[in-house]
Structure 1
Amino acid sequence: MPQKQRSKSWTELKQAGNECFKTGQYGEATSLYSQAIKELEKSNKRNPEDLGILHSNRAASYLKEGNCSECVKDCNLSLELFPFNVKSLLRRAAAYEALERYRLAYVDYKTALQIDCNIAAAHEGTNRMTKALTEADGLSWRDKLPPIPTMSLSDREKLAQKSPASAAPPNLNPAPKHNGTARQTNKPAPSDKDMKRGQALKEEGNALVKKGEHKKAIDKYSQSIKHNPTEITTYTNRALCYLSVKQYRDAVRDCDEALRIDGSNIKALYRRAQALLELKDIKGCEDNLNTLLQVEPKNLAALKMMEDAKNMK
């Protein structure tokens, strides 16, 4: 008789889910994390934090698939099991933001900053939510916020005692690279006044682009960045202008900055690939396009550029 195949352990299923996530197979990753959760729940060695991490990982898959409601549910479960898990807070914040539940997103971003004040993604999210809530509710928007949870001293001590390897799930959102290792930057959050001035200058730059005045637009975007160096679209817009005036290395640098803020930004990946292709860095171009196509597999412009890059070899 054939031997019965051994069922996989929850750790093996989790690892398989991580591998699928890394290669952009988010549906398969979701299924594997679901199986891992069932196996761990049946196990005698059930650990609340391990279960919380699995729910957080599955939330990341749901978020990539655009299933924001399920992402929120998994993050809620994760945070019940593993309070103040930063990755769960950031994933739930991103899902709330996509669902236009800006107050709840703001609270999660601010809570994450209580745990680690150097999280660039949380600073960026706070800035975006501040802008959105100011536009929606006026200057009194803070009065309408839900309470922001405060960490007790004991919670802080518990988090400090945990090693990064055991306390947090693997980095499932690595920043893409085109050459070497991406440098992490933690820019200070700009004031409301600087954000407004930066936005006004960016809009002036946008108007100049529509007129085809790319060099003047570059100046406006550069001024905007001085006021608000955390606005991703200013970098991608200036990169477009640099491409138009054939300053390809400057375009790459702007896309680098944008991708440090959002490692899967489609415009930044595409424009950096364009610039690298012009610089004859075929491998760098293909690496960016492969990352882009993991996010948007049917992006026709990226598929066309991939063919052009292959023809240049």
Structure 2
Amino acid sequence: MAPKFPDSVEELRAAGNESFRNGQYAEASALYGRALRVLQAQGSSDPEEESVLYSNRAACHLKDGNCRDCIKDCTSALALVPFSIKPLLRRASAYEALEKYPMAYVDYKTVLQIDDNVTSAVEGINSWKPPCNPAFFSRMTRALMDSLGPEWRLKLPSIPLVPVSAQKRWNSLPSENHKEMAKSKSKETTATKNRVPSAGDVEKARVLKEEGNELVKKGNHKKAIEKYSESLLCSNLESATYSNRALCYLVLKQYTEAVKDCTEALKLDGKNVKAFYRRAQAHKALKDYKSSFADISNLLQIEPRNGPAQKLRQEVKQNLH
């Protein structure tokens, strides 16, 4: 009796996952493709399921060295669920293999906006041995410098700004390797916090922070965030860098990220007035008036005559009643 082939989307995806784990990438790709056809024939709108199937098939193409079809499937996955980490990483790897380094760099940088501790994205842009030392730039970064010159960053395609709503999505996306990703994130975060920056790293961080400050003066807050983020990769011991990046997030209405950066700034300097003020502004925008009032109160204990803080306290106080 001939074996019964799976016919539901769930069964086909599970069979594809099993084939992938066994190294049978062509078979897995066919199963994911069949699952996509079934899903699309049903006419049901399930963009996340469809996106995962495209992303999984892209992984098969990548394993088989079929980079162009990998890019195509990742792009389809991202059209359904924008800013998903796995298709972004897989597309970046495929672009890198095809030596399309500007496109790969953009995808890696996009991933780092979602989660700045994804090891493969960090390593794709800069080596960690140690960071910010030009002798240890990744192969891709060196290739970009060679092909585009010292101002190569200015010649890259635009890096999309990831909305806050997408920055937490990797925690809930359907993913076989979720536990591995969470473990990797935890390990990388610990390594970053425990790393003692060298004098060269600290100097490079200072220069990058100043470049970020200049971009803020010009009103280019998106690029300033990139500079501050690079600075913090070199040395995460500067309170002002976090509070400066928080200002950019405030301007771009990414209030949750602003709160997070101000909190990091205050861990380093408990009397950082700007961090208290900006976190109060972010909390107010998020309608967390109690937290906003607490931050302003702490600020006014440090600077009792701070005019903007006194004004903000009155505004927040009205919402508390």
* Change in 2 beyond 3 A, CA 1:4/1:33: closer
2:156 counterpart of 1:145? yes
What residue number does 2:147 align with? 136
What residue number does 1:169 align with? 175
What residue number does 2:76 align with? 77
| 5+ long unaligned stretches in structure 2 | 127-137, 202-233, 235-321
Structure 2 contact 13–31 (Cα < 8 Å) conserved = yes
Question: CA offsets per residue over residues 89-125 of structure 1, 9 Å max, x none?
Answer: 0000000000000000000000000000110110001
What residue number does 2:48 align with? 49
Amino acid across the alignment from 1:25: Q
Alignment of 1:29-48 (within 5 A): 29-48=28-47
The aligned length equals 182
Instruction: Give 3-state SS (helix, strand or coil) of 1:139's partner.
Output: coil
* Change in 2 beyond 3 A, CA 1:61/1:111: same
Question: CA offsets per residue over residues 33-69 of structure 1, 9 Å max, x none?
Answer: 1001111111243301110000000000000000000
Structure 1 contact 16–32 (Cα < 8 Å) conserved = yes
* Change in 2 beyond 3 A, CA 1:24/1:7: closer
Q: TM-score by structure 1 length?
A: 0.52
Structure 2 contact 117–188 (Cα < 8 Å) conserved = no
Structure 2 contact 114–166 (Cα < 8 Å) conserved = no
What residue number does 2:64 align with? 65
Tell me the distance in 1 between the aligned counterparts of 2:33 and 2:142: 37
Tell me the distance in 1 between the aligned counterparts of 2:3 and 2:19: 26
What residue number does 1:289 align with? none
* Sequence identity (%): 46
Q: TM-score by structure 2 length?
A: 0.51
Tell me the distance in 1 between the aligned counterparts of 2:166 and 2:156: 23
Q: Which has the larger radius of gyration?
A: 2
What residue number does 1:121 align with? 120
2:21 counterpart of 1:22? yes
What residue number does 2:101 align with? 102
Coordinate RMSD, CA, aligned: 3.3
Which region of structure 1 is more displaced relative to structure 2, 43-52 or 31-40?
Answer: 43-52
Tell me the distance in 2 between the aligned counterparts of 1:173 and 1:92: 22
Tell me the distance in 1 between the aligned counterparts of 2:149 and 2:3: 65
* Change in 2 beyond 3 A, CA 1:91/1:153: same
What residue number does 2:216 align with? none
Instruction: Give 3-state SS (helix, strand or coil) of 2:151's partner.
Output: helix
Tell me the distance in 1 between the aligned counterparts of 2:61 and 2:77: 14
Tell me the distance in 1 between the aligned counterparts of 2:151 and 2:95: 21
Amino acid across the alignment from 1:29: A
Query: Deviation of residue 139 (structure 1)?
Result: 1.0
| 5+ long unaligned stretches in structure 1 | 176-180, 195-227, 229-313
What residue number does 1:86 align with? 85
Alignment of 1:97-246 (within 5 A): 97-127=96-126, 128=138, 129-156=140-167, 159-160=168-169, 164=172, 167-171=173-177, 184-185=187-188
Tell me the distance in 1 between the aligned counterparts of 2:76 and 2:20: 20
Tell me the distance in 1 between the aligned counterparts of 2:120 and 2:179: 11
Query: Deviation of residue 144 (structure 1)?
Result: 1.2
Higher relative contact order (CA 8 A, sep 6+): 1
